Amino acid sequence: LISFDGFRWDYPDLYQLPNFNLLSKRGVRVKYIKNNFATITFPLHYSIITGLYEESHGIVGNTIFDPKLNAVTTLDTMNDTKWWSQNSYSQPIWTSNELANDSYQRRSGVIAWPSIGTPINGHLPVRYQLFNLTRKFDSILKQIIDWFREPVESRINLGVVYYSEPDMTGHHHGPISDEMNKTLKECDDYVGQLLAMIDSDEYLKHNLNIIITSDHGMESIRKNHSIILADYIDTKLCSAYGSRSS
C-alpha cells in the first residue's frame, strides 16, 4: 500500500506519466475516490488504514483540540499514544494483519505513514521506520522491497508506505505548473523503479499486489476568491484551532 500525498485523480491524464499508466494497464484504475472530511493528511491517512470515519477514529485535523482531554496537539506533538488510541476499535491494517488468526506468520512493515512510531492500543508493527523529510523515496521503496525479500521466517507480508509528494509541490506552486510536472515525473520514475524491482524477483512478481492511492487532490484558486466563513456564520458560536483557523 503506497500513498502519494495530494496526488490528484487525473494527474495521469494531465501529465505524461508512463509508469503510472503501465501499472494501471497491468491492473485496474478506479475512476475516483470519495473523500472523508476534513481533506487533510493526518485524518485521511488514518481513515485509509483503519477504515473509520474521522469522527470515529478521533484524528480530525493536523491540529486537534480534544475537549475531554482539554488539550491541543499539532503535528509536532501528536506522537503521544492518547491521540491515536481513543477507542479500542481504531486498529490500523498493519495491526489487523499481524493479529489475524491463521496458520501464516504475518508481519507488517511500515515506513513514514502518519502515526507510525506511536503504539496504537499497545501495538506497533514488526518493522517500521519513521518519517524523514530528507529521505529519498527510492530508498524507502528499496527498504520495503528488501523486507518482502527476506527469508520466509522473517519476511513481511504487508508493506505500508507514505510519500509527502506531490502535495508539498502543489501547495507551493499549484497543481498545474512546471514544478508539478517535474515532481510528478519523479514520482513516475519511482513507480518505474518499483515495477523493475518486482519484475526482477520471481517470488514478488507472482505474489505481490500493489495498491497506490492518495488522501486528497488539489485545485487552483485565486487569492481574491477565498471564502470568508465570517461572512456566512456567527464565529462567536464556535472555536477554531490550528493553522487553518485564521
On whether the CB atoms of residues 36 and 47 are closer than 8 A, the answer is yes
CB neighbours of residue 1 within 10 Å: 19
Can you tell me the distance from the alpha carbon of 87 to that of 58, in angstroms, rounded to the nearest whole number? 9
Can you tell me the distance from the alpha carbon of 22 to that of 155, in angstroms, rounded to the nearest whole number? 27
Cell of 101: 488468526
Helix 137-149 and helix 178-199, axial crossing angle in degrees, nearest 10 = 20
SS (H, E, C) 54-95: HHHHCCCCCCEEECCCCEEECCCCCCCHHHHCCCCCCCCHHH
Can you tell me the distance from the alpha carbon of 88 to that of 71, in angstroms, rounded to the nearest whole number? 21
Name the catalytic one among 41, 73, 95, 183: 41
Is 41 assigned a catalytic role?
A: yes
DSSP H helices, 100-156, are 137-149
CB under 8 Å to 96, separation ≥6 — which residues?
Answer: none
Catalytic residues: 41
